[in-house]
Amino acid sequence: MRIVPLSLQFLMFLGLQVALSLGLVFYLNTLATNNFQTFQRASSGFVESSKTIETLRKSFAATSAEIEQITSQFSAGQRVDVRDQVLALQQVAAAIRTDTALASLREAAGTQVMALSKSIDQQAQALINAASATASATPAEVKDIQSQLRQERSRIMVDDFGALISAANQNLEDTMALLRGATESLSSQYQTLLILFIVLQIALMMTALWYFNYQIKQLADITDRLIDGEATAALPQQKRHDQIGRLARAVQHFRTTLITLSDSREQLKAILKKHDQETLSRRRAEKQLTLAASVFENVQEAVLLTDISGHVTRANPVALEMLHSTEKQLASKPLLEFLLNHDATVVEPLWRQVLDQGYWSGEVEFTPEKSSTITALISIKLMGEAREGRGHVIFVLNDHTEIRAREAKMRFLAEQDTVTGLYNRHYFITQGEKRIAQHPNSSFSIILIGIDNFRSINDALGHHDGDQVLVEIGRALAALLPASAVLARVDGDEFAFYWTPKDEQNHEEELRAFAEHALASARQPLHVNSYQITLKLSAGTSTYPNDGDNIEDLIKTNDIALSMAKSEGGDRLYMHGAQAQNLARRRFMLQQALDKALGKRELRLSYQPQVSLANGQINGFEVLMRWRHGGEWVSPEEFIPLAEETDTIVRITEWAFTEACNRIREWQRQTEETFNLSLNLPPRLLLTDKIDERLVNIAKKAGLPLSSITLEITESSFGNDPSLMSDQLHRLAMQGFTIAIDDFGTGYSSLAYLSTLPISKIKIDKKFVDLISEDAESCKLLKSIFAMAESLELDIVVEGVETADQLVLLKKFDVRVDIQGFVFEPAQNEDFWEGLFLEGKTHVYEVPELRSPKPKTAAESNNPLTFN
């Protein structure tokens, strides 16, 4: 290596590093390519099987639609030809058993595949049997046959195909699990290779560093010894032919030169030592003089020197600039006479005090010629002995003009509003606190006046004219009030002042009258530039000590009162801010308690039945939440909106859904009946991540079929953009849940939702039912809703039915609906229904039977309440 140049040695080391890196990259790329090809084969197989399942599902759905159309034509004593449909079903079943795209799925989930194929074959056979049975069946038996065929087709579509899709998904998950295992093994190999590569690189680097460092260290050690004075040290490596050898020879040349220079250095030292001693004393004196002159010229304070008589002998530039004079002008008379602007009779005692005591300090104001007034702190110091007529006096002037101006401005800002010139909020609060401290037993009121929609004035006229409007309002109120009222601008467009009644007995009446008078004065037309503006203003009041025993509480009450006035339309006076504050406190306390209600078991569930209008049987229940807190029942209209403001609604809704699923499943077991469960979904729950999976898990754990669960939504849940939760609703519908619109018809967009959302049921709002016995238009509208629902094959629930007359009128529509209302049963707790189902039988309610219709008269023909 001694004959190889150093650069070539480095290149050899670098080439070795590159070769190792390329080998590692090639090996890792080969492993990643193999893993990717395995994943691609698995994903393509899943896509092919999923497409085949979807094609078979659509084929079955199309055949089911044809069967539905044909079976709807079944009638007693008539045979219908169903051979084409049977053949179509058998072809679908055969495709499921033989299609090559499903080969891997048949191996992994043969039970589900064969169950689906068998169910479709059974459906084909059932269709053949049904077509034969209708020839001898009664009309009622025909309807049962149609219902059984429809239920079996729905079950195959939802359960069997759903099981096949789940099996395909599970097959993919198993395959992906194997891939993940392979990926983890590959990742472990990657890590091992990377660790070995890093260790090898570190070893190579350490070897190279040691090799080069060892050679250079020898030269460095010799160089250090030369620096320390060992000029005779031997130098190795001078015979090398690389750069290190050149460096060794250069160090050898440096050693020879160093020996020569060492002798010359001793001679020079002796010469310089003598010269340094001579110049040292001279430099010290010059430095002191230069420092003193520099300080005098560059100090930021004004510095002046005078003789014992007080005449200026020298002044720095700052002093000349401050006093707007020259040294000659300042020397014309004693400096104190110039600064104090008084003659010798006034200045003499002060100057005598300086000479006797040696020091004086004070702040004075003076006005130099052709300049503004200056406030300065003057410090005077005597240097020398005045009695012997020797020495001088030093004047130091610190300009405090800007400091005093800033202090004045701060006092102004601390007390006054910069826009209107009135007092500000801080000063207003301070005066109120002083009033309470000085007269704690005397009542007074605060009147707060705010401009309605003041932002529109700023937007239309600009902030400059908007500020002018505030100025004019301030002037109008100031002209109306006495000086003791302490009028202040306490917020952007709000003015407040203190008011004391003349008669304590009529405090509220006088307060109302004066507040109305102040509003009327402020509402007078204003002239701002070329505009004439008439404002709308609102006001709120509070009274000490009734509404608060400190200023902060009183102002808070006023703010609430003013907000209530503006929320009610504005341009009014609100006198009961304390009541609004109590409502706000109750709202806050309930919100805090609601967060802990589940843990304290304060929440209860009630169940209101949904009864079939055709036979009086209970088809399902809507679950409703109730809250008993502090010994009182809190209305759902009060606590549900509070829960929806936070994530509390998510927790209590999931709890209610879990409890209701378990309860409905238990009642089904007791009565051997199928009950549907309806639950209202709040917007926050729909926006929760993976809520569809969580609801499915809850229902499955309770053993309740998803098809028996209805999730209700209201139009207000969507705000202005229904697409925010549309995807979530579609996912829930695909899982098997029934989606219903609650309070249907109360909003403008209900019909639009039917075409964009997976709606299967509508719940008609109570207000349509309330008017059907009196309002012909309501009947027409309700009839149109029923017709639309039937044409769209939507289930219908009518809410809020309370009287038998309403029930009779709904019966006349001759529509298959469920009834929910007090006419059958209010919402009852679970104990009520447990007792009702104790004997294992469901309860049947009495429904009215309609008489046969009579021929219409001419008057009845024009009466919209007469039904066909």
Q: What does the pLDDT look like over 496-521, one tens digit per residue? A: 999 888 887 788 888 889 999 999 98
- The predicted structure's pLDDT at residue 858: 44
**852: pLDDT confidence band, cut at 50, 70 and 90?**
low
d(CA 265, CA 274): 15
Q: What does the pLDDT look like over 697-729, one tens digit per residue? A: 999 999 999 999 999 988 666 654 566 678 888
d(CA 335, CA 167): 107
- The predicted structure's pLDDT at residue 114: 85
Instruction: Find, among 126, 146, 51, the residue nearest to 85 by Cα.
Output: 126
State if pTM tops 0.75.
Answer: no
For domain 416-589, give the fold: Alpha-Beta Plaits (3.30.70)
- The predicted structure's pLDDT at residue 317: 87
Q: Indicate if the pLDDT at residue 578 is higher than 60.
A: no
CA 168 remoteness from chain centre: 39
Q: What does the pLDDT look like over 750-760, one tens digit per residue? A: 566 777 889 99
Query: Can you say whether the dihedral through the CA atoms of 341, 344, 349, 353 is positive or negative?
Result: positive
Which residues are 634's β-sheet partners? Answer: 627
Q: What is the mean pLDDT of residues 267-292?
A: 69
Q: What is the mean pLDDT of residues 788-817?
A: 91
- Position with higher pLDDT, 853 vs 675: 675
Q: Are strands 573-574 and 537-544 parallel, antiparallel or unpaired?
A: parallel
Q: Of 210-224, 609-623, 659-673, which gets the smallest average pLDDT?
A: 210-224
Would you call 495 helix, strand, or coil by DSSP?
strand
Q: Indicate if the pLDDT at residue 36 is higher than 60.
A: yes
Instruction: Find, among 406, 495, 497, the residue nearest to 445 by Cα.
Output: 497
**798: pLDDT confidence band, cut at 50, 70 and 90?**
very high
Would you call 301 helix, strand, or coil by DSSP?
coil
Full DSSP string of 362-401: EEEEE--TTS--EEEEEEEEEES-TTTT--EEEEEEEE-H
Q: Indicate if the pLDDT at residue 867 is higher than 50.
A: no
CATH of domain 603-861: 3.20.20.450
Helical ranges in 604-682 per DSSP H? 636-644, 648-671
**Mean pLDDT, the chain, integer:** 81
d(CA 748, CA 525): 41
Instruction: Find, among 497, 481, 482, 476, the residue nearest to 423 by Cα.
Output: 497
**677: pLDDT confidence band, cut at 50, 70 and 90?**
very high
Full DSSP string of 729-767: HHHHHHHT-EEEEEEETSSTTHHHHHHHS---EEEE-HH
Q: Answer for the pair 738, 761: CB distance below 8 angstroms, yes or no.
A: yes
Structure tokens at 722: 């229904």
Full DSSP string of 527-542: EETTEEE---EEEEEE
Q: What does the pLDDT look like over 231-247, one tens digit per residue? A: 665 556 556 666 666 77
CB half-sphere exposure, 841, CA atoms < 13 A: 4
- The predicted structure's pLDDT at residue 860: 44
Instruction: Find, among 799, 804, 805, 802, the residue nearest to 785 by Cα.
Output: 799
Q: Of 241-245, 469-473, 562-566, which gets the smallest average pLDDT?
A: 241-245
Q: Which helix (H) or strand (E) holds 312?
A: strand 312-315
- The predicted structure's pLDDT at residue 98: 83
Q: Indicate if the pLDDT at residue 289 is higher than 80.
A: no
Share of the chain above pLDDT 90, in %: 17
Would you call 490 helix, strand, or coil by DSSP?
strand
Type of residue numbered 287:
K
Q: What does the pLDDT look like over 407-423, one tens digit per residue? A: 777 777 777 888 888 98
Q: Indicate if the pLDDT at residue 667 is higher than 80.
A: yes
How many beta carbons lie within 10 A of that of residue 659, not counting itself? 17
- The predicted structure's pLDDT at residue 716: 64
Q: Answer for the pair 661, 677: CB distance below 8 angstroms, yes or no.
A: yes
Structure tokens at 611: 């009864």
- The predicted structure's pLDDT at residue 237: 58
Q: What does the pLDDT look like over 291-303, one tens digit per residue? A: 666 666 777 788 8
**71: pLDDT confidence band, cut at 50, 70 and 90?**
confident
* 299-405: CATH, from 3.40.50.10190, 3.40.1010.20, 3.90.1150.10, 3.30.450.20: 3.30.450.20
Q: What does the pLDDT look like over 303-333, one tens digit per residue? A: 888 888 888 888 888 888 888 888 887 888 8
Q: Indicate if the pLDDT at residue 58 is higher than 70.
A: yes
Dihedral of CA atoms 717, 722, 723, 727 in degrees, nearest 10, equals 50
Q: What does the pLDDT look like over 101-146, one tens digit per residue? A: 777 777 777 788 888 888 888 888 888 888 788 777 788 888 888 8
- The predicted structure's pLDDT at residue 233: 57
Q: Indicate if the pLDDT at residue 577 is higher than 60.
A: no
Q: Indicate if the pLDDT at residue 557 is higher than 60.
A: yes
**868: pLDDT confidence band, cut at 50, 70 and 90?**
very low
